[in-house]
């Protein structure tokens, strides 16, 4: 028989540590499994920040995208370009469109140089970039697929062509290029139709497979947001490999927030904030000014008024496992 104090110590050692919250000033400290993660309560997690560069390396060779554009380095040899030649390339546009582009450049409604990146990925020694050109009206008017092969001496960017339609990218450096069935792909819009636009490298051709209409945005994880002609929004999930799609729910909320890699949807109105688990359909409701952030396998929600109040939820059943306020 163990003495009672030894048995108590053993049981306490074996008992799982429950998550806890602490609000100090503008910091919310979330303790899970003995590890503390701090969240700034003044920052809105819905305002996603963009990375400032993306880089690929092979030995002394680099391909880097940042505010300067695309930089390719081989040892001491360096070149930087914003790929302006593509904007007037006959491989990208018909002659009449090139003439129109030149006129729009003069009017300063468009610029010859690309201004952002819709996505990038690496396959073996080949690095692929999708630079984006945005007009003065804020709309994308060109996206191109460019390749840099780091196995080559003194590599140069190679223009491969353009996808069918445009992606829903909006960040200075976004992440909308991926591999589907061994092909470089983006989810793109052509008019009211959206679908999967892919590059067949063996045939040097671009293909488009329609998947829906009125796309607002597509997110990694297969989730998409569509608008309807009668004033609602549809959130669904799609398997890009098979084309099978499922509408998860429809809402009249004008503000629907989704995030790449997350299974949460945040619906906002003037009266409340609803946080919905897209995998289970369950949801929790808070006041209109609620902030939402994922922390490990939990969801942190907080509000700020005369004081900051925070809740930590297990999002399968939306059980509040910890609360705190300052």
Q: Which helix (H) or strand (E) holds 226?
A: strand 223-227
Distance CA 7, CA 262 (A): 42
Tens of pLDDT, residues 191-214: 999 999 999 999 999 999 999 999
Give the domain ranges of the chain: 49-213, 219-326
Tell me which residue has tokens 């909006």.
170
Measuring CA to CA, how many Å separate 62 from each of 79, 114, 120, 124, 212?
11, 20, 14, 14, 38
Q: Which helix (H) or strand (E) holds 193?
A: strand 193-200
Tell me which residue has tokens 């297969």.
222
Q: Which helix (H) or strand (E) holds 212?
A: strand 205-213
Distance CA 134, CA 87 (A): 11
Tens of pLDDT, residues 219-258: 988 999 999 999 999 999 999 999 999 999 999 998 999 9
Both tokens of residue 224?
């998409």
The pTM assigned to this predicted structure is: 0.85
Quote the pLDDT of residue 16: 63
Res. 2 pLDDT band, cuts 50 70 90: very low
Quote the pLDDT of residue 4: 56
Yes or no: say if 118 and 186 are a contact pair by the CB < 8 Å rule: yes
Q: CA-based angle 186:191:195, to the nearest 5?
A: 30
**Fold of the domain built from segment(s) 219-326:** Lipocalin (2.40.128)
Q: CA-based angle 183:186:189, to the nearest 5?
A: 135
Phi then psi dihedrals of residue 281, to 5 deg: 85, -10
């Amino acid at each position: 028989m163990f003495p009672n104090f030894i048995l108590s110590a053993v049981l306490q050692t074996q008992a799982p540590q429950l998550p806890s919250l602490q609000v100090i000033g503008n910091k919310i400290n979330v303790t899970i499994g003995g590890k503390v993660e701090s969240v700034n309560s003044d920052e809105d997690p819905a305002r996603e920040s963009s990375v400032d560069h993306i880089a690929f390396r092979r030995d002394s060779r680099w391909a880097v995208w940042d505010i300067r554009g695309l930089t390719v380095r081989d040892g001491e040899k360096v070149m930087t370009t914003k790929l302006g030649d593509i904007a007037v390339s006959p491989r990208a546009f018909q002659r009449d469109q090139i003439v129109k582009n030149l006129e729009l450049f003069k009017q300063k409604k468009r610029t010859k140089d690309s201004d952002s990146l819709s996505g990038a990925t690496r396959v073996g020694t080949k690095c692929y970039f999708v630079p984006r050109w945005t007009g003065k009206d804020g709309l994308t008017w060109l996206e191109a697929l460019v390749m840099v092969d780091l196995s080559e001496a003194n590599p140069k960017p190679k223009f491969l062509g353009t996808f069918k339609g445009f992606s829903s990218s909006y960040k200075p450096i976004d992440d909308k290029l991926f591999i589907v069935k061994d092909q470089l792909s983006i989810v793109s819009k052509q008019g009211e139709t959206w679908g999967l636009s892919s590059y067949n490298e063996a045939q040097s051709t671009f293909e488009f497979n329609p998947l829906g209409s009125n796309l607002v945005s597509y997110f990694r994880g297969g989730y998409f947001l569509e608008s309807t002609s009668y004033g609602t929004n549809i959130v669904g999930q799609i398997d890009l490999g098979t084309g099978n799609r499922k509408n998860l729910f429809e809402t009249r909320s004008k503000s629907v927030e989704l995030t790449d890699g997350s299974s949460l949807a945040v619906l906002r109105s003037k009266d409340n904030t609803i946080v919905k688990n897209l995998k289970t359909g369950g949801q929790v409701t808070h006041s209109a000014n609620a902030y939402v952030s994922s922390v490990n396998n939990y969801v942190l929600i907080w509000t700020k008024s005369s004081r900051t109040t925070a809740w930590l939820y297990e999002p399968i059943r939306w059980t509040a496992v910890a609360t705190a306020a300052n």
